[in-house]
Amino acid sequence: MTEKIELRNFNVSLSEVEETSDGLFVRGLVNRPNSWSEPLTAKNGQKFIERIMPNAFSKALQRGNEIRFLGEHDPAKLLASTKNGSLKLEETNEGLMMEARISETSWGKDYHTLISDGLLTNMSFGFQALSDQWSKDNGMNQRSITDLYLAEVSCVATPAYSNSQIQARNLQSTEDIEIPQIEERDLSKMTVTQLEQAKTKIYNEYRSLDENSVEARNLLQQISDIDAQIQSLNKTIIPQGDVRNMENVLQNEVRALEDYIKGIDSEEKRTLTTGSSTGTAIIPEQISNQIVEKLFEVAPLFARTQNFKPVAGRLDIPVEDDLGDAAWVGEEELLNQTDYTLKTVTLDQKRVGSAIDLTKNLINDSGIDIVKYSTKVLTGRIGRAIDRAILNGDATKSFEGILNKSDITVAKTTASATAITLDELLDLYNSMNPQLIPGSVFIVSRNTFNLIAKFKDGNGHYHLVREVSDTGVIYKLFGQPVLVSDVMPDIATGAKAVLFVNLSEGYATMVKQGIELEVVTDVNNALSGKKTLVMDGFMDGKVTNTQAIKILKMA
């Protein structure tokens, strides 16, 4: 490697130093991945922080190049090497671990003595970043290194940044790092039109760059983030038209529905479409859209699926059976049929609904928004039922349940029938196609979540990261959200205890427009002074890509 090697110091003591009959032995932690550095200074004087992502060291070690153990980064002070097996490196859940049997040269004995005496207490490493991503948060540039070339590890004296909690860095090694121009955008506050305009602008910038440059890779990441936000907005966006007019229509529809529930004759009420049976009415379009939007809010799994709204009640979706590929063929040869055939997943109408009893006092209470109250209660119930069906549904009566689908292979089986380890969760994470990881989530039961929440590294830091956003608290493991579901089995013999799934790529749902509301006013209700409000709708959900679903099963 002819590129300039960057150096990092890690503020941790070597954990084991001894002299045995086999030679001079040392062991220590070189670096802990996914931990932010202290602010560093780049070529243009800008500050940035960085982290090395999980699995970056594992990929580096798989390259098989010689990695040397040096004293103070001095190539003349060679202490051990992977070339002859005297240096061993491994990425564990704690980080990059090293152990070495130092050659008994004069400087080897000297360095072993300095380490034993506590004069050289820290580990450092030299590398070249092969792949990184830049972002900006609250004005601070952030660098995430996803792939690197590892050249050497060294034992060094106490670094200059003694108050660093994680790692310190030699400022001389940052002088050649260029931070790309990053425009800090709050995607959550942008409309679809604004997002599309920003995407076009970024793409035009990308076309003028070397596709292998840091700036080009960063722009591609920004485009990916914008695409994800557009997809999210398209699920819940208000239908096209003048916003103010739609707000007026929505208010009129709410008044009409409220009069319908209260039994008041009004001009607004007469605009409602009568249902197929006596005592029913079709919820107006804007309220129906609003209810579907609320389903996305109360059903986090449903919100992550690829959702369709067909005109008819049946929808055929063409999907790939597997991750197919193209092939090179001769001029007279035929393409393999498997390269261009697709299977079809059919979404039908499955009825889901709920009901509540409303007393006359509640209906006529001027302090209660009866429409808002009713829709909140009923959509909450339906949303929870949908999420449960996505995981554990019966395809003949409800959605196709992921846990019940027989052709989804188990990606990882635990060693124990009563416990899950962090390494097993990492194996589950790594079993997913890297292209599908960004949109994936872990799904577990409450008891399994409580177990994962207790995993700590060697310094007592929790692996489950708590993040606070505008939408609430999110817990992440290996950078991906962890969701809790009461349908997921607890840890037990043979149980499918953990799902790692990209629902937007692996699961499709359909919501047929037109949700019916029925007010039941029979003799019994009249005598008891109440009305029964029934809401139901027709929808379906099925697995479209088993490659986007990974299961961890207990032994």
- d(Cα 378, Cα 373) in Å, to the nearest integer? 9
Q: Say which residue, 222 or 510, is predicted with more confidence.
A: 510
- d(Cα 383, Cα 272) in Å, to the nearest integer? 25
Q: Minimal CA–CA distance to 480: which of 464, 458, 491, 468?
A: 464
What is the DSSP secondary-structure string of 396-459? TTSPPPTTT-TTS-EEEE-S-SS---HHHHHHHHHTS-GGGGGG-EEEE-HHHHHHHTT-B-TT
pLDDT band at residue 555 under the 50/70/90 scheme: very high
Task: Give residue 447's pLDDT.
Answer: 93
The string of pLDDT tens digits covering residues 238-264 is 444 444 455 566 566 667 767 766 666
281-285, 389-393, 525-529: least confidently modelled range: 281-285
For residue 355, the cross-strand partners are: 534
Q: Say which residue, 112 or 9, is predicted with more confidence.
A: 112
- d(Cα 512, Cα 524) in Å, to the nearest integer? 33
- Of 43-57, 415-429, 518-532, which one has max mean pLDDT? 415-429
Residue 211 CA: distances (Å) to CA of 149, 182, 201, 227, 436:
20, 17, 16, 19, 22
Q: What is the mean pLDDT of the chain?
A: 75
Single-letter amino acid code for the residue at 547: Q
Task: Give residue 389's pLDDT.
Answer: 92
- d(Cα 342, Cα 318) in Å, to the nearest integer? 6
Q: Say which residue, 360 or 477, is predicted with more confidence.
A: 477
49-63, 237-251, 441-455: least confidently modelled range: 237-251
Angle between helical axes of 285-298 and 214-236 (0-180°, round to 10): 130
Q: What is the mean pLDDT of residues 399-407?
A: 89
- d(Cα 241, Cα 247) in Å, to the nearest integer? 11
Q: Minimal CA–CA distance to 449: which of 416, 479, 413, 477?
A: 477
pLDDT band at residue 513 under the 50/70/90 scheme: low
